Structure 1
């Protein structure tokens, strides 16, 4: 039967992209909208960024909305297209398991010491708890080697399954499952079929994408791209659903689900137990940040994601939307330094091995010459070449913020500060491990020699500006770090001639920076010849460029606090005067910089202000203890990709700095994580040279 009347069918994604209206609200609702959308309206369409939970198995990760819907999951690698992408477009696929008549949970928390999410629901007829986790299991690849693992295997490995289980705690609860994958960022809806003669397992049939298998103890029904199920639980009863994408059989019954949860919890708790955490009220937040950083690692290669997401906006409705699903060499090096401070050294071993592989690819045959790769700013976690940046025009973007980007063109930018981060990472690793491998030493030599050739040139800087390159002061300082730390490592190896050469270069850089990178008022500036401030210079006290009691260090910290702060929140720079290529578009405060200010205040001896600043930032965390890239000072709303590694590592450093300063003031100290004999035999504070 054909019904006459107006066509009310929804357009295809391609049609919607071709006829996109200026208003994302109009696109989402099907109504024409005049003028820019109201931000309050957009807030009702997308959950706030800080409300998402983060799950990981150290290979893949997902974000879970407070509604119980998984709204972000990319397979098979973190930078691959999404299968659930509702965080960027409300039609791009999701997976919900929750009560039928409830959208707001009573409580959400991580099971302490784990990456297992427990969500409690109260309905009109009962109480329900849902546990979500990405399963990690004892090594199960008996008789075969993994094709993706390039690091030394541990005792556990990801099972490539997402487990969701529900238990009725009281009364009765009607539970609904709705699993709607949409491959390739929502372009290719799932095609399902049953795998056997019962209702308990279905699988996708889409070619050229990961095969998904949904298993459970509910009776599934296939409705278009969706798999749906409904079931009433009474007190004490339970159900489960497992989404798998690997070649390992998923848990098939409740007993196996319980075993999988126990194994996953044991993996995370065994790992966190290996760290050194102070007995302090901030201990839980430190542990959650450490677990988050661990969850952002990619176990097969040792790389570390900057964040698991792309294009979450730094300014609602703006264009500062970037793809962070890669490993930034600088951020990973900073992160591993923080993990060293907590006693986690294996991650640094694996990252340096990853870095060695991307710089020195394996030779195909024995005896063949070893080729040396050029250092990039960022890499995919599998070490492949970075994918060029593109825009996904068919997606509305989170809160209507477009464009949505895949890939990041910063991979081929010139950023000299990366060189110092690499050498400093090896330097700190050597202090902790009491050894320096030949491969790590070759990485140091390459980085230092590049710094010596390049430090007088302009670059894009730590903030990856898309405007004109400049002589950024922080980049020059990090080149000095490369030469300084490299000279110390050369001395440890007994290479005195090279140590003297590098130390002389470091001295030349130091003199140049102090002449050209300091304003008439006595503070370090964003760039040579500029009077602008830059929050990256808050790292000066921790880099050892000058003594912390030097007046130029204090003047820089106080000038940034006075000019770039809004309460406890610190901006990277003033976008209206810094040419970052985005024509002065505003952004939120940069949360890592806010924690850097805490550490800088501790370093210059202002512990009271540092503690006050830290307490306000701790209070700005999400309900689950997570942080995005930025925070809006006016609303304390989290902005940017989420959760972000750089923010959590800055948090760890800041909290440990405050705690240690308090303990030293009270006559006790946490002390260093380790005291290797080889390092102390040289003396970590001595100049590694006889040159003057």
Structure 2
């Protein structure tokens, strides 16, 4: 099964991945970063999945989201009949609920439902009990976790797996629901499946109607906005980088990371996308999460946090899961939390500046926090760090990290000037100029006519595409033009953009087979449009849209050899970058700037 064969459903607290054949193969419950109950995505059915299978062989399978929603409809065709499966996770329910509605629209279909729950990341078999006198309810318990299965067709426990075999004729309808609870709680009431489905559909329709995106790319933008909202924790405001873990950057490789957390680097990109499409409440929710997460001593700013703002995300390997297409090791947690990445200061200060410009004004206490970040940055900006791509072979003087250190000071100055915030303006102006001159002197290679990945290196890096986007240099500066040309000549693969070519011992070295990074390709769309190369920008954007799967989702990367999506899926940064590139294309602008 390829990654693009999956669709996502979610409830604002977690998300599930549903295959083209209507098997739910991934679900962490009750939160994005919780233990899994379905982990077949990283193993096989014995690691947990919920299958709805027809007895007769399938002739075809197709699916689509209901317009403007995250409700997926999968149509399974056999020679004997047609089954339509409607899947969603309920919004604003007292407890997390997953719904599956089945409708036979033609002929006769014999169906088997198997709910193979495996806790403890795919290995713990729950105690499965049919609850007598409760209309065929099934309860699955393992330690603190408890799932309740209800349906219009009763399921019987066999080998600790609830199973139901039934026949449907044209016009027949059935539904199942799975409710997540704690084992110490009383049994939750059976969900009103029809009402909850209708309420969830209406929620998404109402939410989608708020989008202000217009123009030829409005539909693609809306699908990406829905994806972004689905990756947002409605309780905390944090946004998961992806709902999955350990989907490899290249099948068979060890570049497998857990992305079920919130990266500060995505802050400004996300803020711009949400504000640019009219979602001010969502932007404010994200801004508030950001402020809470970074609250504390500036020296202890982290690269990433859990969605509730927790700081401990210890990385460990899971030896009993073989990995997607046998790509081991499977990792949970992320060791990047221990890294130093100076670029996050720029992304945080830029996001807070954008929120002020949009009228989402943080209070004076937040400004005090920002001043503290600049004071600390002044002490550490010259130090090497681990960079935007989180390489694991030691710190370096990464050019983009220094650029974003300048962005941090520049945006703090802008906030001070435009919104009357008290600040040592002369001191900050001197600091911004000092950082800028350092980057221009040490990050730019006169022989290559390009900014390079790190000081003294000849390696190129696609992050340098953002130099004009963040306003470090104007788009018509010859050093920007040279950098774009060098990236076009050396970091393009099958018309798409690589992050870099090779860091020894790291993913991206020649032996590791670095794959095109989709966000970087959207950045190139943005830059080409700023350069006035509108036709090239539009053509690349259309190419990127064609890489989405059949329901409009993107992963982290694209494997040009196997012609498939790779990396964690769906990837928030890819969809945020799609939104921002589309807004740039449709706005008919050709200028640099912070937004």
**TM-score, normalisation: structure 1:** 0.82
Rounded Cα–Cα distance in structure 2 between residues aligned with 1:496 and 1:257: 55
Rounded Cα–Cα distance in structure 2 between residues aligned with 1:435 and 1:186: 45
Map of 2:33 onto structure 1: 79
Deviations 1:358-401 (A, max 9, x none): 3337xxxxxxxxx7782111111122222211100111100000
Q: Structure 1 residues 321 and 634 mapped into 2: Cα distance closer, same or farther (>3 Å)? A: same
Q: 2:80 aligns with which of 125, 141, 148?
A: 125
The 5-angstrom pairing of residues 145-156 of structure 1 reads: none
The CA RMSD measured in Å over matched residues stands at 2.2
Rounded Cα–Cα distance in structure 2 between residues aligned with 1:167 and 1:194: 25
Is 1:106 the equivalent of 2:54? no
Is 1:349 the equivalent of 2:246? no
Q: 1:182 aligns with which of 104, 115, 118?
A: 118
Is 1:53 the equivalent of 2:7? yes
The 5-angstrom pairing of residues 451-600 of structure 1 reads: 451-495=377-421, 497-520=423-446, 521-575=448-502, 584-600=511-527
Q: Structure 1 residues 98 and 579 mapped into 2: Cα distance closer, same or farther (>3 Å)? A: closer
Q: In 1, are the aligned partners of 2:129 and 2:157 still within 8 Å (CA)?
A: yes
Q: In 2, are the aligned partners of 1:356 and 1:439 still within 8 Å (CA)?
A: no
Q: Structure 1 residues 624 and 184 mapped into 2: Cα distance closer, same or farther (>3 Å)? A: same
Rounded Cα–Cα distance in structure 1 between residues aligned with 2:503 and 2:467: 25
Is 1:418 the equivalent of 2:344? yes
Q: Which moved more, 1:332-341 or 1:112-121?
A: 332-341
Map of 1:295 onto structure 2: 230
Q: Tell me how far 1:207 sits from its aligned partner.
A: 1.7
Rounded Cα–Cα distance in structure 2 between residues aligned with 1:576 and 1:511: 26
Rounded Cα–Cα distance in structure 2 between residues aligned with 1:433 and 1:104: 54
Q: Structure 1 residues 421 and 578 mapped into 2: Cα distance closer, same or farther (>3 Å)? A: farther
Rounded Cα–Cα distance in structure 2 between residues aligned with 1:401 and 1:579: 16
Counterpart of 1:107 in 2: which secondary structure? strand
Rounded Cα–Cα distance in structure 1 between residues aligned with 2:512 and 2:274: 34
Map of 2:328 onto structure 1: 402
Rounded Cα–Cα distance in structure 2 between residues aligned with 1:533 and 1:412: 25
Q: 2:203 aligns with which of 267, 271, 280?
A: 267
Deviations 1:130-182 (A, max 9, x none): 10000114xxxxxxxxxxxxxxxxxxx56410000101111111121000000
Q: Which moved more, 1:548-557 or 1:398-407?
A: 548-557
Q: 2:51 aligns with which of 96, 100, 106?
A: 96
Q: Tell me how far 1:104 sits from its aligned partner.
A: 6.6
Q: Which moved more, 1:443-452 or 1:82-91?
A: 443-452
**TM-score, normalisation: structure 2:** 0.94
Q: Structure 1 residues 592 and 382 mapped into 2: Cα distance closer, same or farther (>3 Å)? A: same
Q: In 2, are the aligned partners of 1:598 and 1:614 still within 8 Å (CA)?
A: yes
Counterpart of 1:288 in 2: which secondary structure? helix
Is 1:388 the equivalent of 2:305? no
Instruction: For structure 1, list consecutive stretches of 5 or more residues without a partner in the other structure.
Output: 1-46, 138-156, 362-370, 666-670, 672-683, 686-692
Q: Tell me how far 1:492 sits from its aligned partner.
A: 3.2
Q: In 1, are the aligned partners of 2:294 and 2:302 still within 8 Å (CA)?
A: no
Q: Which moved more, 1:447-456 or 1:548-557?
A: 447-456
Rounded Cα–Cα distance in structure 1 between residues aligned with 2:361 and 2:268: 18
Q: 2:556 aligns with which of 600, 616, 629?
A: 629
Map of 1:258 onto structure 2: 194
Q: Tell me how far 1:583 sits from its aligned partner.
A: 8.6
Q: Tell me how far 1:522 sits from its aligned partner.
A: 2.3
Map of 2:275 onto structure 1: 340
Q: Structure 1 residues 462 and 174 mapped into 2: Cα distance closer, same or farther (>3 Å)? A: same
Rounded Cα–Cα distance in structure 2 between residues aligned with 1:496 and 1:372: 19
Deviations 1:449-480 (A, max 9, x none): 22222111100000000012110000000000
Q: In 2, are the aligned partners of 1:569 and 1:594 still within 8 Å (CA)?
A: yes
Deviations 1:523-553 (A, max 9, x none): 1111111121100111112101111111111
Q: Which has the larger radius of gyration?
A: 1
Map of 2:102 onto structure 1: 166
Q: Structure 1 residues 81 and 103 mapped into 2: Cα distance closer, same or farther (>3 Å)? A: farther
Q: Structure 1 residues 183 and 555 mapped into 2: Cα distance closer, same or farther (>3 Å)? A: same
Counterpart of 2:88 in 1: which secondary structure? strand
Q: Structure 1 residues 495 and 168 mapped into 2: Cα distance closer, same or farther (>3 Å)? A: closer
Rounded Cα–Cα distance in structure 2 between residues aligned with 1:289 and 1:50: 15
Counterpart of 1:287 in 2: which secondary structure? helix
Q: Tell me how far 1:279 sits from its aligned partner.
A: 3.3
Rounded Cα–Cα distance in structure 1 between residues aligned with 2:266 and 2:452: 22
